[in-house]
Amino acid sequence: MSYATSSDQSQMMTQQPSSANMGAVPDLVKIGQIPTNTAIDIETDILDPVVHTDKFCRFQFQNKGILHSNSKIVLRLDKSATVGFLPVGVGIYSLIQRCALRVGTKTICEIDDFNHYMGYKSMFLANEHQKQRETYTTGRRLAHKPYYFEDEGANDWGGSTKHLQQKAQRIGLDLGLQVSTTRTQGLALNDHDFCKTNAEYGPEFTLSLQDLFPFLSQNQLPLFMMTEPVTIELFFSTSDADRLCVPSSGSGASPDFKIDQTATELIADYQFFPQEMMEQYAQQNANLSFTFADYRLAKRTINIPADNDTPSTAVSSGQLIVNVGGAGRLVTKAFTTLSDDNVKKNSVLGNYHSMSLGRHLSGTEADRYYGVLTSNVKYNDHFLYPVDVDNSAQQFHYLTQAEGMVPFIAREEYNFEGQGITGGTFEGYGQKDDHHGIAGRFFYQAYKLNRNERVNSRGIELYNTFDPLPNSKTGEDNTATLRTYLEIIRVVQLVDGKMEVFFA
């Protein structure tokens, strides 16, 4: 009997062996089904960190068995007199500013600004997974549902009974909780208590190793074949503004959310096949090679003028050309996030968003507009697109093409277009608010570099014109941070128990 080790294939599977592979040793470290019937023993260790502060912790594995890629790290926030809730979309991953997987002195996989990285990746989880699983395991809970009631006119009930039961004009966040309404108040949604801090306890959730390190999403570490120590290092985000959000009623608070160091632990699952099979596998694979995708970050600050606080006076950023690196590397994909530096704890998503462009829907027809992003990518002296892309639907298509699937977000959440988000609130913040809610907060851009070429010494250049970027400050200049993640191909070799890593 073989065991499927990926997160979405967590049950036993039986497969009859063929005569062609009866004498062959299966690939024990490749995630997926094993074409043979065999017994597997699972041993679970609860590992305490060898180093732990409020800013950093390190774990070290025992060199035995094959590490299951879906092993978990448990983190818990300490109790606090200030109420705070986990940012929607990233959940407990908001605590991780940087994570690194090291073997000996060599870094196998490392991602900087990991919490922003997870804000992008969380869009591609199905709605039912977000609601039924992630709400309770990681606290991400970016699920949606139709809202069947909206106040109309002078705070009166709108529509007939049939409409209230069958007609959904808006969608909003779905936490599996009752949404309260009255004749004088819109839809008010408050978070789960277990996602908040209070004077008695703080939220406790788990992080999956295959989410932290993309290398482990395709491969498992054969620890029994390795002679060097294998460690995980976590660098935590700042405690005052980046870990949790605060309800609108406490937006003036100055919180200091600490990590409960007594609860931090690594639940490591080690797989053991029959001893003869593992010994034979080690002999036949004394030289193992893994190819995987790693991510490199480039950041730049973009200025937003004070005039952009009003849609009617907002101005374009002009063309911005940003070199994001990648010289001499095999880069298969790039994706960008643009986060408002003024919007952090006082919002639904925290700083883990990608802001869209401004829109102006009032005044005369000539005054109304939707903002336009004009974008392109240049590498190896050629543009990725022959004509600059300025259509948000086309940009959404390229995002889908780069990831191979459609993100589970609404149109108004992407580029603040249309009228689809509920006018209700989440923890006091309007869900439709384009600064503190979810509307226009998922305007991520992704580019699939499809020419299969090594990037030359000039690197990759992003061409962006933001026309215009909204300013969340009133009467003051503001800034936004443009983060670009490059998906770079790397190779790991395990030779006689020693591991080496290099760029492809």
d(CA 360, CA 431): 18
d(CA 390, CA 383): 15
Pick from 115, 447, 484, 120: nearest CA to 298: 484
The string of DSSP codes covering 322-346 is EEEE-TTSBEEEEEEEEEETT-SSS
Contact 279, 323 (CB under 8 A): no
Query: Would you give per-residue pLDDT tens digits along the chain (504 residues)?
Result: 333 433 343 333 333 333 334 346 677 777 777 666 678 899 999 999 999 999 999 999 999 999 999 999 999 999 999 999 999 999 999 999 999 999 999 999 999 999 999 999 999 999 999 999 999 999 999 999 887 654 444 344 445 555 555 667 788 899 987 665 444 445 788 999 999 999 999 999 999 999 999 999 888 999 999 999 999 999 999 998 899 999 998 877 788 999 999 999 999 999 998 888 899 889 888 899 989 999 999 999 999 999 999 888 899 999 999 999 999 999 999 999 999 999 999 999 999 999 999 888 887 887 888 899 999 999 999 999 999 999 999 999 999 999 999 999 999 999 988 888 988 899 999 999 989 999 999 999 999 998 889 999 999 999 999 999 999 999 999 999 999 999 999 999 999 899 999 998
Tell me how far apart the terminal alpha carbons of the chain are, to the nearest angstrom.
36
Residues whose CB falls within 8 Å of the CB of residue 487, separated by 6 or more in sequence, listed in order: 293, 294, 295, 331, 332, 333, 334
Pick from 186, 189, 260, 221: nearest CA to 103: 221
d(CA 429, CA 431): 6
Contact 484, 338 (CB under 8 A): no
d(CA 226, CA 229): 8
